[in-house]
Structure 1
Amino acid sequence: MPKAITKPPRRTAFIGALNRSLTLGRKLGLMAEPDLTRQAMMDRAAETTGLSDFGDDSFVEPLDRLLDSLHRDARLNVAGEFTADKQIDKVLKDRLWAQQWFAENPEILTRALPRPIAIVGPMRSGTTRMHRLLASDHRLSHLRAFETISPVPWPGFVPGDPSTDHRPQLARRIQRIARLANPRTLNIHPTGPYETEEELGLLVNSFWGMKHEAQWMVKTYGRWCEDADGRPAYAQMARLLKLIGWSQQSSSLKPWILKTPQHMIDIKALLATFPDARMIFTHRDPLALVGSAASLAWNQTIIYSDQADARELGREWLRKTRLQIDRMRSARKLIPAERMIDIHYEDMERDWEGAMRRVYRFLGMDIEPALPAMRAYVKRSRLLKRHPHRYSLAEFKLTPEQVMDEMQDYVDSFGITVEPKLRRRAG
């Protein structure tokens, strides 16, 4: 039996070396301290691209709130400041290029997005497995990792000519650096440039959502997002889905598979944007949900800050998981029963094929044509995830009792099994 984990992991030596080299570069005048102010960053992106149209200005307030929280809350190290500057600069340039593609190819925005399938569940509830199984079906459309990292093709891209698309190469470089910075992050969520991936980057294009909170300590930004209107970010996500479908040269009649934990917070915005969406809700033992989500956030946060606090982070992700569940339960009242289905993590663990047959009956589709590809994915996924994700509540100074005090009503309402071994291991 593996030894109980009571302390969160440390980051790799790579980040310490990067911090030292970037600090030395600043001292020697080889590189400037990044100017993390909105207008300066927008001006620089415009100058680099030679473009000036960022699209509608709904992204401005989220960006302002994010930058303020980076300054106020995040306690970034030098590598964190460098990374924040590069990430925000990339999003701003993507917005400029997106507007150029829309202007030059107006047919993009006329593409249909019929009856998408939205996988909605708390972070770490099995949404990735469900997403990748469905993406094995050639009758459905999905994003690949390089497309969520870079939703917008670069200038010079020609649809149907992969040799003109440099985004997969960028994705490889980013994932290589991520593995150096903390290999555990890719063990927790295995991926590759062409692997099926969620539309997180399409929401980041509007500086929106939990991706920022799982990476940086940006509490004031996160609290603001929870009460702000997500519909503009989802409208931009829809525009980018049309751009990606056009760049893939795929049929606009194929339904998209959507999946990101942000939908738990923003189901109303999701439904406003995709009123005919069909919803697959995933559920999991909350002891596993909270511990796994906190571990994922911790393993990213320690890259960018030297002052991450495990107890603070654990409490925040317990609160965030509770909020996701509250928002989901409230929004379900707006969805007709025939347009939603509940799938439990343990059912997928025990008999994924039987659970997927239930999903396909709900969708009104024949599963048989998709089963060979699904079975191949299951075999491949075992190779992708050679190193299991190990975590505990104790790492984050949480107890099973604290979690169940918050989550018992969720367990009771959805008939979720709480495993006794997790209760013991979590403590």
Structure 2
Amino acid sequence: MGNERFDRDRLAAEAIELAGSDDFGAPTWQEGLDVLLDGLANEAQLSDLGVEVAAMGVTDYLTTRLGITAYRAAHPEVAEGPVDHPIFIVGQPRTGTTILYDLLALDPALRAPLTWEVDKPCPPPETDTRDTDPRIDEVDAILSMADALMPGFTTFHPMGARLAQECVRITGGDFRSMIFPVQYRVPTYNRWLLHDADMAPAYRWHRQFLQHLQARDPAPQWLLKSPAHLWHLDALAAEYPDAVIVQTHRDPLKVITSVSALSAHLRKMASDDVDLTEIAGEYAEDIFDGLDRGMDARARGVVPPERIVDVHFQAFIADPIETVREIYVALGRDLDDLTAQRMRDFLAANPGDGGGGGSRYRFADTGLDAGALRARAERYQDHFGVATEALV
């Protein structure tokens, strides 16, 4: 059943029927999808439910791609929409990127793509109904079902239709996205993505997606976020040469521990055979690869230093508003009192766990060698002055 469910032509036909159009735009989506489908069929060890979840997810991405392409063809002026000086929050998972993103998204001078807009972007959001669009409730209902399938997931990662969404959910439409190896055991796809894939098409699709979202609701300045950008700063800068980068920093061993637990939790929704130590071993390699690539890209001036802001996790957790204020100074922006109060109110309503994770995950569960990893982390920690944290 699994193999035939992951037939590319079958999934494309389902999407065409749902979208009512058959133009997927540039054929760049096919390469990554073929590698992904092979992994889902032969590596992911999916349950019967997981097969359906994964297949429906692929169909959703394809349907969205068809819808955006059709709207763009009918409204060619969308392709002229500017995406100037976008701000990208990058940095490894569990380094404060999500809460920082949520806070900055409260600034009316910035616009982040919201979850409901990314999940159901067709037709484009309208300025007058952006807060009342019926798709908001639809997406919240879907997210509630996901939380029922994955009890406790929102303690790892908050979900909500009105919360800002990550770029991996956008680049998923070109099937060049870290969202897939986080959700499923697809090591061949992961290797292709990190070491062989041309990421230029993913960022071209990313721009098209933003142009679509701003077609009827202009964006003053886009605010975007994903840890995945750190692996691909060259491709990001090639598509957005005027981008501003905000990079968060934290002890890589804490990052590996947390993201391994997050991926294990996610994969359990689609598989009954999830191995935390296997996942941790993969991330121990990938996380350091991303840090090395980020340092190399910055050393080469891929993004000019004056357009990069570094944020230390420890300082951010100790005083979020002051850290945001410092970011604004570095960006040449003013943090007005009303926006600062919005941010304080959000923090009061969403206290989080300070990135600690409590009893949800422990380094001891990863099966990794702390000493070897600490030596591997030394170059990065010394370069950016990143504090070492105690491991549980």
- TM-score normalised according to structure 1 size: 0.85
1:319, distance to aligned residue in structure 2 (A):
1.1
Cα distance between partner residues in 1 of 2:135 and 2:178: 24
Q: How many residues were matched structurally?
A: 387
2:184 match: secondary structure: coil
Match of 2:189 in 1: 221
- Structure 2 matches for 1:378-417, cutoff 5 A? 378-382=347-351, 390-417=360-387
Could you say if the C-alpha distance between residues 211 and 383 of structure 1 is closer, same or farther in structure 2, counting changes exceeding 3 Å? closer
Equivalent of 1:232, from 198, 201, 205? 201
Correspondences of 1:408-427 after superposition (within 5 Å): 408-419=378-389, 422-423=390-391, 425=392
Letter in 2 for 1:83: V
| Distance of 1:239 and 1:320 partners within structure 2 | 28
Q: Which runs of 4+ in 1 moved over 6 A?
A: none
C-alpha contact 2:112 2:224 (8 A) present in aligned 1 = yes
Counting aligned pairs with the same residue, the percent is 30
Q: Given the alignment, which residue of 113, 124, 127 partners 2:94?
A: 124
Partner of 1:106: 76
1:283 partner amino acid: H
Instruction: State the distance in 1 between where 2:278 and 2:189 align.
Output: 16
Shift of 1:42: 1.0
- Aligned runs of 1:18-417 on 2, under 5 Å? 35-150=5-120, 152-154=121-123, 160-161=128-129, 165-227=133-195, 228-247=197-216, 249-250=217-218, 252=219, 254-332=220-298, 333=300, 334-369=302-337, 370-382=339-351, 390-417=360-387
Structure 2 stretches of 5 or more lacking a match?
A: none
Q: What root-mean-square deviation, in Å, do the aligned CA atoms of Structure 1 and Structure 2 show?
A: 2.3
Q: Secondary structure at the match of 2:311?
A: strand
Q: Max radius of gyration: which structure?
A: 1
Give distance in 1, aligned partners of 2:84 and 2:108. Answer: 16
**Do the aligned partners of 2:3 and 2:41 also contact (CA within 8 Å) in 1?**
no
Please say if residues 154 and 165 of structure 1, whose CA atoms lie closer than 8 Å, have aligned partners that are also in contact: no
* Distance (whole Å) between structure 1 residues aligned to residue 304 and residue 313 of structure 2: 23
Tell me the distance in 1 between the aligned counterparts of 2:213 and 2:169: 12
Bigger drift between 47-56 and 121-130 goes to 47-56
- The change in CA–CA distance for 1:340 and 1:266 in structure 2 (over 3 A counts) is same
Q: How much has 1:258 moved relative to structure 2?
A: 1.2
2: distance between equivalents of 1:71 and 1:224?
16
Task: Give the CA deviation at 1:148.
Answer: 2.6
Inter-partner Cα distance in structure 1 for 2:353 and 2:281: 31
Amino acid at match of 2:253: L
CA contact (8 A) 1:148 1:202 kept: yes
- Structure 1: unaligned runs, 5 residues or longer: 1-25, 27-31
